[in-house]
Structure 1
Amino acid sequence: MFKYRKRVFAATAVVALTAGLAACGGSDSAGGPSAGGSTDADAAAGGTLNYLIFAPIEHVDPQRIYVGRDITNFSRTVYRQLVTFPISTDPKVSNTPVPDLATDTGTSKDGGKEWSFTVKDGVNWEDGQPITCDDFKYGASRVFATDVITGGPNYLLSYLDIPTDEKTGLPAYDGPYKGDGQDLFDKAVTCDGSTITYKFNKPWPDFPLAIAALHMMDPYRKDKDQGDKSNFQIFSNGPYKLDGAWSKNKGATLVRNDNYDPKTDSTDVRKALPESIVFNIGQTTETIYDQLIADSGDAQTAVTGQRIPAPYYNQIEGPVADRATLEASPYVDYLVPNFRKMKDPKVREALKVATNAKAWIDAGGGDKAFAPAESIVNPAVVGYKANPAFSGPQEGDPAAAKKLLEEAGVTLPYPITFTYPKTDTADKQAAALKETWDAAGFDVTLDGLGDTYYDVIQKPDKDSDVMWGGWGSDWPSAITVTAPLFDSRPNLTENSDGQDYGAYKSDEFNGLVDQAQNAASLEDQTAALQQADIVLGQDVAYIPLEIAQFYFLHGSKVVNFTTTPASSSYPDLGAIGVKQ
């Protein structure tokens, strides 16, 4: 099905999910590699690892990366953070931050409203210049340029102690390119020698988790910043660097970074085994799996984040099955109505009632590909509770939906455009949804996008009436699911809808987000978030489709194949090598 999911990594109780799949090639409980891959005893430095990807990677700029696969791929190779997550299949280990570019995991004051980190000595950029506190400060400032640095996580807009502009509802600081409100940012983020301090307007006790899970706090050298033109540029501080240019449609090759000092790093985070890593973009999922099953040529040293297509399941047997893994993923796939176009709540309710999630699942491969979902929050996340708005039949009810459309007084058939990332499997799934939607009185146009996706559905003037989305929590908390997806305040700007693809705006929901973010206890936070999800269900701000399962195959010369909570259950490049 789809080549990626938007962020990332629902980490907490993943152990409960993976335990049920261990016999099918899931992660073991001892922190070792997943079944189907050679062990670390076979691993040695050298060789070329091939990473096969279908659709273009939309951002390699650290502050704009927001796809789970890409976050960890770049964390393990070219971008280091103050703190990061180690390689382990044990969630307790993998979800505990360890020092990376900082000397420790941070010091907090004022109940979590202030955090300080000291940058290590001897850490350098790829040109040999040292990484400084000012580089971290500049990197954080880029997040506030919402007209340029689009598509990435925007938590800083809500948390950093900067006043809000009454007209826009956004922070009064607008980033380093315009520089309005620079003095306000300079008070909120300060440098004292090698120590950087962040001051927040509310407690952020899990701030180290946010740093480790995302790239929004990464350092960025001011003299290397070209704004939007930096979107496909990589200036490395990790064990690899870009060889030549990054091609959006073809990929790129990473080679050794001579100015990386492994003494400042840990093999618990980055083993950096391959001599080079080739990101090969553009082949269809079917073509990728034809190569991986045949296991010849470069496919022998290849991994992929593409899931095995359902028509190929009967080929995963014998020696081929020994190279396969099946994992429960941290992601929920869902639909989003466009509130700018689908304004009538009865029309949105009709869409929900007519949605045949079972047909979607069956068309996508059945229970090896998906499990049913009753919320946008993954059951692995602390604070999960099934949303009562989505407890009805998975097959949908076209007759009841048509009655709702008639009550709405709209002209039938009611035209809608459904936008989704195009693959052969996704086309079949979209057709399955269209069948019951059309039977309910909708007239559905299927709009499958191949070259780019999130860049399109984030545009305020998009033509879509309903869109596909996929999401996992940014770190182990439900506060990183519904809030970043539906809080209109940091998302909706003149140039982008951010992660609020449907332009949903609700004062009631936003108030519950504020209540959760300022809660004195996890119990109070959870209660507010559960109520916020109920509001989303009542407004039909989203429609859950399913929980994705990850069924992967890799080449026979790949060693130490591992998927971890830190890698969002994708192949973890921190561990993987190739047999010589």
Structure 2
Amino acid sequence: MRKTSKWLLALMLVLLLALAACGGGSDNESSEDKGDNGSEDNKSTEANEDGIFHIDDFNMTASNNGEELENGSLTYGIVSDTVLEGTFNFNFYSGNPDYEVIAWFDEPLFDSDASYTYTQDGAATWEVDDTGKVYTLQIKDGVNWHDGEPVTAEDWEFVHYVIGHPDYDGIRYGSDFENIEGMKEYHDGETDTISGIKVIDDKTLQITFKEGGPSLITGGIWPYALPKHVFGDMDVKEMEESDAVRKNPIGMGPYKVESIVPGESVVLKRNEDYWRGTPALEEVTVKVVSPSTVVQELKTGGVDMVNSFPTDQFLDNANMSNVEFLGSIDNAYTYIGFKLGKWDAEEGQVEVDPNAKMADVNLRRAMWYAVDNNAVGDNFYNGLRWNATSLIIPFFPEYHNPDIETPTHDPDEANRILDEAGYEDVDGDGFRETPDGEKLVINFASMSGGDTAEPLAQYYIQSWGAVGLNVQLVDGRLLEFNSFYDRIKEDDPEIDIFQGAWGTGTDVNPAGIFAGNSNANYPRWTNEENDQLLAEGSSMKAMDTEYRKEVYDKWQQLMVDNIPLFPTLYRAKIVPVNNRVTNYTLDPESDLQRYQIGVTEEKAEAAE
């Protein structure tokens, strides 16, 4: 037996023995003053005696207040076990690694406040009429693309014609776009124009929506323009693979793309014409860092910071001397999804298959009861991920309902449900057959990445096996990130269930992943009540927070009742920042912007 196999077996055994005993984390706050910063107290990031951390123990803003170098450079790491896909445009990308590059050279036209509502402080402002349906959007003077051309209302109009086009193959088109008057008719090829979008002048765009509501100003109005003078002569189906996306991407943000090493890194230079002012850094290098080498890169100063530190490695590195670990609740969660239908591209709708292998909600509910996500959070992530319940996450405290009763670890209950539903071990091989007596093998897709990926997948498989379900990895192995999502999106018939992750963005509206007309609805499930509640949650009546909370309480319960997927873990976002870095924050209430990030020393500090 190989050494790695022995290690895996030992880890699994330790985990299984610990399941019944593990609990939550504890707070270890300190009230020491932060010195020159003085804006908040220092917090201790020491674990309790069980090695468990708590997200409340972390600061959100870097404490270095030194004077920034005028021509400093910074290296930013993207922790990933796969290469950059290289889709460097907000309107076409699908994976977070590409987003991490784009965010340095492009940006939304709207800024948002601490509640993630569009403000008037960004590159554009907004006004709405008395009906709540007609929005007038005004781009500020001096906002230019990197080639010097002004960002115009036509650019903002143009992106709607691209994303709404029948040949658009990205994941952005969905209920938010279909809420625009005339968009569905355009998307269906019935007309060449979108009646609800009108260019008033060079800087002013007017959009008329079918329904108003709070989601429009928390993400429902698409805030990303697309330069028409660059993409206007291209066919929509060719845009994503064009040089303007892959080799020479253009934006309106604080840095310009200087060079790209495909799959590996991007070098960016200061945009002297940036509308907010001169960026603090002369150069930024963004590069992929493997989870297996991220600690070494940080210790040696090979990177100044990374987008998110692997929480499974935090315990052993919490005292790294040359970085400050910042933390916040992440706007993302992991989940187990069930393939319950297919995507009908012609109709633009989810098509639920009543005969899908996982169609029985009793089977899905038993699989939820079979796993212990509290133990997973403590044993794999030292408390920096924790048991998830509702599909509206704690990142949205106004709408997250912690009181909804959801399945928690109870193998006896899982066995009872399966027995009553007719899943029995007919042939005595230790695994249950279907109620019809047919062999039941559940094919499970899970992504590679980090030291915990394999043992975590094996833990879930073993937990389901403990209640008599024969679950096997698709192709007998973990899938690489891009391959995983390609197969999920294409509804690969070899996949019955999958372990995924979803970044919610800053809009609580869950329609992006759950609406029946969303291509990102990967379980391929919906019903009439689901679509009705999602519509009510983004309606004008939902401008009343209490009404919206009532709607989302019902929706959260609906998802517990139907279980197209179940959440596994809520997540902490942990970001290590080199001691020379200034003006970096995870705090949504902070006024700090990306262009203000700077450095106080020429070289990154190395660990002692």
Same fold per TM (> 0.5)? yes
**Measured at CA, do residues 181 and 138 of structure 1 come closer, stay the same or move farther in structure 2, by a change above 3 Å?**
same
Q: Which residue of 1 aligns with 2:302?
A: 298
Q: Which amino acid aligns with 1:576?
A: I
Contact 1:111 1:205 in 2 (8 A): no
Residue equivalent to 2:505: 474
- Which residue does the alignment assign to 2:570? 547
Aligned partners of 1:272 and 1:487: how far apart in 2? Answer: 40
CA-CA distance at 1:36 after TM superposition: 8.0
- 2:163 is the alignment partner of 1:161: no
Quick one: which amino acid aligns to residue 181 of structure 1?
A: T
- Are the counterparts in 1 of residues 327 and 573 from structure 2 also a CA contact under 8 Å? yes
Equivalent-residue separation in structure 2 for 1:23 and 1:181 (angstroms)? 62
Q: Choose between structure 1 and 2 for higher RCO, CA contacts under 8 A separated by at least 6 residues.
A: 1
Superimposed CA distance per residue, residues 439-497 of structure 1 (whole angstroms, 9 cap, x where no aligned partner): 222222224222414343222335321122333543353xx22x2221112x1xxxxxx
Is 1:198–2:207 an aligned residue pair? yes
Partner of 1:319: 321
Question: Of 229, 234, 239, which aligns to 2:241?
Answer: 229
User: Which one of 268, 279, 282 corresponds to residue 272 of structure 1?
Assistant: 279
User: Match for residue 219 of structure 2?
Assistant: 210
Hey, what does 2:386 align to over in structure 1?
A: 371
Q: Equivalents in 2 of 1:198, 1:540: separation in Å?
A: 36
Q: Give the corresponding residue for 2:524.
A: 503
Counterpart-to-counterpart distance in 2, 1:474 and 1:126: 26
**Residues 420/306 of structure 1: CA separation in 2 closer, same or farther (3 Å cut):** farther
Distance 1:566 1:463 in 2: 45
Distance across 2 between alignment mates of 1:24 and 1:437:
45
Deviation of the 1:65 alpha carbon: 4.2
Q: Secondary structure at 1:485's aligned position in 2?
A: helix
Q: Does 1:188 align with 2:197?
A: yes
Q: Which residue of 1 aligns with 2:362?
A: 346
Residue in structure 1 matching 2:416, options 400, 404, 416: 400
**Measured at CA, do residues 411 and 235 of structure 1 come closer, stay the same or move farther in structure 2, by a change above 3 Å?**
farther
Structure 1 residue 24, shift from structure 2 partner: 11
Alpha-carbon contact 1:364-1:428 (below 8 Å) kept: no
Q: What is the TM-score of this pair, normalised by structure 1?
A: 0.78
2:376 to 344, 352, 360: 360
Q: How does 1:123-162 map to 2 (within 5 A)?
A: 123-145=143-165, 147-152=167-172, 154-162=174-182
> Distance in 1 between the 2:305 and 2:38 partners?
22
Does the 8 Å CA contact 2:445/2:499 hold for their aligned counterparts? yes
In the TM superposition, what is the alpha-carbon distance from 1:540 to its structure 2 partner? 1.1
2:555 aligns with 532
Cα distance between partner residues in 2 of 1:128 and 1:532: 47
Q: Which position in structure 2 is the counterpart of 1:45?
A: 70
Report the counterpart of residue 330 of structure 2 in structure 1: 329
Q: 1:464 to 1:505 in 2, by over 3 A?
A: same
Q: Give 1:577's aligned residue.
A: 598
- So what's the TM-score if we normalise by structure 2? 0.75
In 2: Cα distance, 1:508 partner to 1:36 partner: 42
Q: C-alpha separation between the residues in 2 aligned to 1:504 and 1:330?
A: 23
Q: Which amino acid aligns with 1:551?
A: I
Contact 1:356 1:432 in 2 (8 A): no
CA distance in 2 between partners of 1:135 and 1:357 (Å): 46
Pairing partner for 2:294 from 266, 285, 288: 288
SS of alignment partner, residue 535 of structure 1? helix
Report what 2:606 is aligned to. Answer: none
Deviations 1:121-141 (A, max 9, x none): 232222222222101100122
Which of 425, 446, 454 is the matching residue for 1:420? 446
Equivalent of 1:564 in 562, 580, 587: 587
1:50·1:280 contact (CA, 8 Å) conserved in 2? yes
Q: What is the one-letter code of the residue matched to 1:238?
A: G
The answer to whether the 8 Å contact 1:360/1:545 transfers is no
The answer as to 2:469 corresponding to 1:442 is yes
SS of alignment partner, residue 432 of structure 1: helix
> After the TM superposition, which of the residue ranges 403-412 and 231-240 deviates more from structure 2?
403-412
Query: Could you say what the CA RMSD is over the residues aligned between the two structures, in angstroms?
Result: 3.5
Over 3 Å counting, the alpha-carbon distance change for 1:370 and 1:531 in structure 2 is same
Counterpart amino acid of residue 471 in structure 1: W
Q: CA 1:204/1:380 → structure 2, altered by over 3 Å: closer, same or farther? A: same
| Letter paired with 1:114 | V
Distance change >3 Å, CA 351–CA 464, structure 1 → 2: same
- Per-residue deviation, 1:573: 3.8
One-letter identity of the residue aligned with 2:186 = Y
Q: How far apart, in 2, do the equivalents of 1:34 and 1:398 lie? A: 40
Contact 1:84–1:98 (CA<8 Å) still a contact in 2?
A: yes
Deviation of 1:576 (Å): 2.6
Gaps of at least 5 residues in structure 2 are: 1-25, 42-57, 342-355, 425-433, 603-608
Structure 2: how far apart are the matches of 1:215 and 1:374? 30
Q: Answer yes or no: is the 8 Å Cα contact 1:63–1:153 preserved in 2.
A: no
Partners in 2 of 1:572 and 1:284 — Cα distance?
27
Cα distance in structure 1, aligned partners of 2:223 and 2:489: 18
**Aligned partners of 1:504 and 1:541 also within 8 Å:** yes
1:48 positional shift: 2.4
Q: Deviations over 1:312-341 (max 9, x none)?
A: 513322635x62233332322221111134
Aligned residue in 2 for 1:261: 273
CA distance in 2, matches of 1:396, 1:221: 60
State the shift of 1:359 in Å.
4.0
Structure 1, unpaired ranges of 5+:
1-18, 164-170, 492-497
> Residue by residue, what CA displacement relative to the aligned partner does 1:242-271 show, whole Å, maximum 9, x if unpaired?
123462x213111123xx524x326xxxx7
Q: CA deviation at 1:51?
A: 1.6
Distance in 2 (CA, whole Å) between partners of 1:193 and 1:399 is 65
Q: Specify whether residues 572 and 455 from structure 1 end up closer, same or farther in structure 2 by C-alpha distance, changes over 3 A only.
A: farther
Check 1:67–1:272 CA distance in 2 against 1; reply closer, same or farther (3 A cut). farther
Correspondence for 2:400: 384
CA distance in 2, matches of 1:22, 1:42: 29
CA distance in 2 between partners of 1:200 and 1:133 (Å): 17
How far apart, in 1, do the equivalents of 2:101 and 2:31 lie?
25
Q: Pick closer, same or farther for the CA change 1:415–1:528 going to 2, 3 Å.
A: same
Distance 1:246 1:318 in 2: 30
For the pair shown, the structure with the greater C-alpha radius of gyration is 2
Cα contact 1:24–1:326 (8 A) shared by 2: no
Kept in 1, the 8 Å contact 2:214–2:540? The answer is: no
C-alpha displacement of 1:428: 1.5
| Counterpart secondary structure, 1:548 | strand
**What SS is found at the alignment partner of 1:358?**
helix
- Give 1:415's aligned amino acid: V
Amino acid at match of 2:552: L
Secondary structure of 1:115's aligned partner? strand
Mapped partners of 1:386, 1:504: distance in 2: 24
* Cα 1:563/1:525, change in 2 over 3 Å: closer
More helix by share: 1
CA deviation profile, 1:189-211 (whole Å, cap 9, x unmatched): 43334210010000134533327
